[in-house]
Structure 1
Amino acid sequence: MKFLAIFLVPLFLFALEGKVISVTDGDTVKILTFERQQIKVRLYGIDAPEKKQPYGTAAKRYLSDLIVGKTVQIEELGKDRYKRVLGIVYLNGKDVNEILVLNGYAWAFTKYSKIYESQEWKARSKGLGLWRDKNPIKPEIWRKTI
């Protein structure tokens, strides 16, 4: 008896692929494409603490340790007002934006998308990362105070 196995593999059409050459902060990276073009990418749907904000350095370090020097794929979702690519970053098929939120290194940026809202609640309930603080301040609010 012969069996025909059919595997359904999700097909992602990535607009960009390249090696991460630097991390600006917890939600912005620079990649070098295979065409040798440098592109700044703002991670879509999340908002990490600013550099001088509590957990800002930790968020940057976590993201750096996770992806610097590695090849990533970017699902491009537009551009922001600074002309950075807005995108979901994938490393070995895993959503890096989601990983940051799940581990408490970024908020779900619900002002623009609800995509990572449940992941934020998981991190909050476990007291991970920035959720160790009693009253963490969202970066969008913190930016208005400086």
Structure 2
Amino acid sequence: MQPKIILFNLILLVLSLPLYAAQEYRGRVVAISDGDTLTILDSNKRQIKVRLAEIDTPESKQPYGSKAKQELSALAYNKTAIVKSQSTDRYKRVVGRVYVGNVDVNAELVRRGSAWVYRQYAKDKSLYALENQARKNRVGLWSLPESEKIPPWEWRKSRRK
């Protein structure tokens, strides 16, 4: 009997994981940590740190890093946001798509040339078209000299060595 209970609980746990991942949060954006991380304050006064899914912005010490943070702030700071959670990362941040009004903030940052599509995690193919258009039009970080256009994941990797 004991193994059946354990198996049943395990099945329940596995089935509940997608429900957690698909959770939606709503709150006022109260902090911008960097170009792809913000904090919302929900109606229960809980602060929820959110990593924008499928994109990666320059780190603060990289060229365009502070500008990417300013762009996210202009789009979301002190505004009501809806976060459609996809997962939780190793830092316990909610990873999701962020919407302010009718604006998909993740996509808008890519369109403005403030973010790369995070190829390792991106599932939304429309983000690639937005990035290609931003590159073609040399907007945002795509206007930088070639030597300064280092994807953040490569920049972080080079710093770890």
What's the TM-score, normalizing by structure 2?
Answer: 0.80
1:140 aligns with 2:149: no
Alpha-carbon distance in 2 for matches of 1:47, 1:114: 14
Aligned residue runs from structure 1 range 1-146, under 5 A? 15-115=24-124, 116-135=127-146, 136-146=149-159
- The structural deviation recorded for 1:114 is 4.0
AA partner of residue 23 (structure 1): I
Alpha-carbon distance in 2 for matches of 1:129, 1:88: 21
Unaligned runs of 5+ in 2: 1-21
Alpha-carbon distance in 1 for matches of 2:66, 2:113: 13
What do the CA deviations read for 1:7-32 (whole angstroms, capped 9, x no partner)? xxxxxx86100000010000000000
Alpha-carbon distance in 2 for matches of 1:117, 1:60: 21
User: What secondary structure, in the 3-state scheme, does the structure 1 residue paired with 2:130 have?
Assistant: helix
CA contact 1:72–1:89 (8 Å) conserved in 2:
yes
Moved over 2 A (4+): none
- The structural deviation recorded for 1:134 is 3.2
AA partner of residue 97 (structure 1): N
Unaligned runs of 5+ in 1: 1-12
Say what the alpha-carbon RMSD is for the aligned residues: 1.2
Greater helix percent: which structure?
2
CA contact 1:41–1:87 (8 Å) conserved in 2:
yes
Alpha-carbon distance in 2 for matches of 1:34, 1:114: 30
Greater CA drift, 62-71 or 50-59: 62-71
What's the TM-score, normalizing by structure 1?
Answer: 0.88
